[in-house]
Amino acid sequence: MDMMRTVAIAPDEFYPEETLIRSVGTNVLLPLHPNAGDPDAMPYVMGASAPRRVLGILHLTNYRLKFKSAEEPPVSFSIFLPAIARADNTSFLLVRKFRITMKDDTHIDFVMWGIRPFLKILNTTRTKAASLNWETIGADIAAAEGKAGDWMVA
């Protein structure tokens, strides 16, 4: 399997008018669902404990953050920019980590180097995204839900 093809966003995964701004290598800390394995259980609950570390690429576009894993089993998800309440540098000592907190107070953590420049670009992009027509974008998202990945926060 070609790893670069696996973690890159394919042209058919973009929504209309969506553009890639930056891609960075990162580990995402995915919390396991308390009832993992149940037929109706969601794969992850953000903000829960006992995370699973997954290596991959975090893509920032003008609409969303999209994570694609570089390891098996594949994990892919999207966090749309209007759903983000804040992005904080939560690094401590040698662990370089940042947290994305959603408007519903759930959160997800990423471990990577180069956090400050990435957060600056993310926050600039979030500010610009506020002026986009999210009603139209929402219709595009609803029409092609699979493009978001395994799950999404919108």
d(CA 129, CA 86) in angstroms, rounded, equals: 14
Look up the CATH number of the domain holding residue 144: 2.30.29.30
Q: pLDDT at position 126, please? A: 95
Q: What's the predicted TM-score (pTM) here?
A: 0.84
Is 73 part of any domain?
yes
pLDDT computed for residue 31 by the predictor? 67
DSSP letters, 72-118, are: SSP-EEEEEGGGEEEEEE--BTTB-EEEEEETTS-EEEEE-S-HHHH
Residue 44 inside a domain? The answer is: yes
User: Would 8 be classed as within a structural domain?
Assistant: no
Residue 128 belongs to some domain of the structure: yes
pLDDT value at position 1?
47
**80: amino acid identity, one letter:** F
Residue 104 lies in a domain: yes
Find the domain containing 37 and state its range.
19-153
Give the model's pLDDT for residue 135: 92
Per-residue pLDDT of the chain (154 residues; tens, 9 = 90+): 455 556 888 888 999 999 999 999 999 887 665 555 455 555 555 555 556 788 999 999 999 999 999 888 788 899 999 999 999 999 888 888 999 999 988 888 899 989 999 999 999 999 999 999 999 998 998 888 788 888 888 7
Q: How many domains does the chain have?
A: 1
Q: What single letter denotes the amino acid at residue 86? A: R
Domain-embedded: residue 4:
no
Position 54 scores a pLDDT of 87
The answer as to whether 9 is a domain residue is no
Evaluate whether residue 3 is within a structural domain. Answer: no
What pLDDT shows up at residue 4?
55
